[in-house]
Amino acid sequence: MTDVLKGKVVADRIKEQMKKDIQELKQANKTPRLGIVRLGDNPGDISYEKSIIKNCNNVGIESKVYERDRDIKTEELVELIEELNRNDEISGILVFRPLPDHIDEDIIRNVISPEKDVDCMHPLNLENIFEGKMDGFAPCTPKAAMEILKYYDIPLEGKNVVVVNRSMVVGKPLAMMLLNENATVTICHSRTKNLNEVTKNADIVVVALGRAKFFDESYFTEESIVIDVGVSLDENGKLSGDADYDRVLPLVNKITPVPGGVGSVTTSILLSQVVLACKNM
């Protein structure tokens, strides 16, 4: 029987810890507060924002949205972020991405204060991950995948883990986090040859290429543990992971569902990093 690794229980445990931490902070007259910078009114951003605010309210984090036009000049966005960096009432800053094409993300990444960088955009925070310093801010999605593995007591030491993604928001930081837990990590990408031979030889496969139902049974064995990071719409407009869930589920050992898997832990990781930022202030 395949184990379905649901994210909700993982998120709930993180939230419980967070609530305790927030109580302690409040006793010390500190309130964690997230500043959300949203450019334009893209429905995806608005729905993500609503979910973040709701989650903030649930655990006792305050939030404030800084909405600006999508055609904002780079200098104006820099000025806004610098203002938030100086604002003692803001513990963490989240800038919604992708940024509009005319804004150079590199400039923005470098402006945000590393101490308030709860979405781990700043090169210094990413560098920490690559150096094996895991107690600071981490990119939320890979951290969510790691929390799921930890919650379900899935051993990593000496295990072969294949990550199908080499982006800076998912694959590369995740590979470093796995390496830090002494896994043997292989990163795959669009030029990888015989991908299904590589994935079949792994103990754990993290799929994150962003194509609904791409991975069918031919990529896995009955021993496979599948962590599905992909989120896209299938041919019927239904939210789907990269794994062809219904076909793969009866075969593999363990799998995260989509929705209800990695994505449901990501926001809790973000919020726990707001709490961390507030503690460090």
**Contact positions vs ligand NAP (CB under 6 A):** 141, 164-167, 169-171, 188-192, 195, 208-210, 229-232, 262-263, 266
Nearest CB to ligand NAP, comparing residues 85 and 192: 192
Please answer whether residues 168 and 208 qualify as being in contact, where contact means their C-beta atoms are separated by less than 8 angstroms. Answer: no
**Pseudo-torsion of CA 171, 177, 178, 182, nearest 10°?**
150
Quote the least distance from Cβ 92 to ligand NAP, whole Å: 17
Closer residue to ligand NAP in complex, CB, 45/62: 45
Smallest gap, in angstroms, from Cβ of residue 191 to ligand NAP?
6
Distances (CA, A) of 141 to 1, 105, 145: 27, 19, 6
Q: Of 169 and 276, which CB lies nearer to ligand NAP in the complex structure?
A: 169
Of 29 and 190, which CB lies nearer to ligand NAP in the complex structure?
A: 190
Q: To the nearest whole angstrom, how small is the minimum distance from the Cβ of residue 140 to ligand NAP?
A: 7
186 or 253: CB nearest ligand NAP: 186
Kindly give, in sequence order, each residue whose CB lies less than 8 Å from that of residue 247, ignoring residues fewer than 6 positions away: 216, 217
Q: How far is the CB of 148 from ligand NAP (least distance, A)?
A: 11
Contacts by 69-76, CB closer than 8 A, 24 or more apart? 69/39, 69/40, 70/39, 70/40, 70/100, 71/100, 71/102, 72/39, 72/100, 72/103, 74/102, 74/103, 74/104, 74/107, 74/108
State the helix-helix crossing angle for 171-180 and 140-151, rounded to 10 degrees.
40
Q: What is the closest distance, in whole angstroms, from the C-beta atom of residue 266 to ligand NAP in the complex?
A: 4
Q: Select 78 or 198, whichever has its Cβ closest to ligand NAP.
A: 198
Least CB distance to ligand NAP at residue 209 (A)? 3
Q: DSSP secondary-structure letter at 100?
A: P
